[in-house]
């Protein structure tokens, strides 16, 4: 999978950001939430009887993140429908309330997926699949575990990619060495959004301390944890980690994490006895964090979406399976 000219988890994580991105035409829809806030969803429209894939992005991601666009490009070619759910404050517009989003926000995901599932059933019997990446994958896996068998009534298949399954281990990994580069990247927008929120809600937190944050632990301790009902960063990470929930998942679920993912130490990845029989674990040696680049040079981000669609095809009808595999073979040739 990984090209010989791009070795190492850091290179495979960073390089995809340098590639040109496919053109995907979205239709944006704003949903009002029960608490007075909103979320924005970017839709890829196709016939109502086509399968529907819902995607949850990673920390500070959006519908233009490279891992989202690579997936959407394949879905566009397949003629499937898709929707990218933006967590609060990630669609380019500040959200209205002090709270934002976090890695364990499974209640938000529950509300979203129940609404989408209901709408999808009204339009026919097309299957509904869900993909979560990184932080979005963690919150989604937690939801799957919490819901157990009930989730099978709502969705037909699931995939989670490059997930920080153990948030404390991921937080520790991102707090030193070269990984601080990623931390600074995340904190650039996290701190800017938090300080903008402080301007609208004075006294919400210690603005000077937030501005001085250099680690995700510090930010989560000052902002994420208190704004979302956790005692501190340790409590937030402990309660929100999805790894303990993997044994309770009943929906057929594919979990993909590269062994060389800089965000998630391979030593804490789950083993087969720690997950339910519905969960398929795939831990490629290469791929970095949501990288998974194909050869030849300059590389393509096609392996991951094709693997996910192949997994979903195994859950779907023979008609869908044949059309999917024909296209995947064409793109791989």
Active site positions, annotated? 134, 261, 289
| Distance separating alpha carbons of residues 244 and 235, to the nearest angstrom | 15
- Enumerate the β-bridge partners of residue 85: 41, 56
| Distance separating alpha carbons of residues 99 and 55, to the nearest angstrom | 22
Beta strands 52-56 and 81-85, pairing class: parallel
H or E segment at 328?
A: helix 318-332
The helix/strand count (H/E) of the chain reads as 12, 8
55 C-beta neighbours (distance < 10 Å), count: 28
Of 136, 74, 142, whose CA–CA distance to 305 is shortest? Answer: 74
Q: 294 φ, ψ to 5°?
A: -95, 150
| Distance separating alpha carbons of residues 137 and 56, to the nearest angstrom | 7
Please, how many CA atoms are within 13 Å of residue 132, restricted to the half-sphere of its CB?
29
Secondary structure (DSSP) of 285-318: S--TTTT-PBSSTT-BS-HHHHHHHHHHHHHS-H
């Amino acid at each position: 999978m990984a090209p010989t000219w791009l070795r190492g988890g850091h290179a495979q994580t960073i390089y995809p950001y340098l590639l040109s991105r496919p053109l995907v035409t979205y239709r944006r829809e704003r949903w009002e939430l029960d608490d007075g806030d909103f979320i924005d969803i970017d839709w890829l429209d196709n016939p109502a009887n086509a399968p529907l894939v819902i995607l949850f992005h990673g920390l500070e991601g959006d519908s233009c993140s490279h891992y989202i666009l690579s997936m959407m490009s394949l879905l566009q070619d397949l003629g499937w429908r898709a929707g990218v759910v933006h967590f609060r404050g990630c669609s380019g517009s500040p959200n209205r309330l002090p709270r934002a989003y976090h890695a364990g926000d499974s209640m938000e995901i529950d509300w979203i997926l129940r609404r989408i599932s209901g709408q999808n059933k009204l339009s026919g019997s097309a299957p509904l699949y869900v993909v979560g990446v990184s932080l979005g994958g963690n919150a989604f896996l937690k939801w799957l575990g919490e819901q157990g068998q009930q989730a099978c009534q709502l969705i037909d298949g699931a995939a989670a990619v490059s997930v920080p399954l153990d948030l404390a281990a991921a937080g520790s990994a991102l707090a030193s060495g070269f990984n601080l580069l990623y931390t600074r990247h995340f904190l650039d927008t996290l701190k800017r959004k938090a300080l903008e929120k402080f301007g609208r809600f004075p006294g919400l937190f210690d603005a000077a301390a937030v501005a001085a944050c250099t680690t995700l632990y510090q930010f989560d301790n000052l902002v994420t944890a208190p704004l979302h009902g956790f005692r501190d960063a340790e409590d937030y990470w402990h309660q929100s980690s999805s790894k303990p929930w993997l044994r309770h998942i009943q929906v057929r679920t594919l979990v993909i994490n590269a062994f060389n993912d800089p965000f998630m130490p391979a030593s804490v990845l789950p083993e087969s006895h720690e997950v339910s029989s519905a969960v398929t674990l795939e831990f490629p040696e290469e791929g970095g964090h949501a990288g998974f680049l194909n050869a030849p040079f300059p590389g393509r981000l096609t392996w991951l979406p094709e693997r996910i669609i192949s997994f979903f095809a195994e859950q779907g009808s023979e008609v869908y399976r044949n059309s999917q595999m024909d296209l995947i073979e064409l793109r791989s040739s």
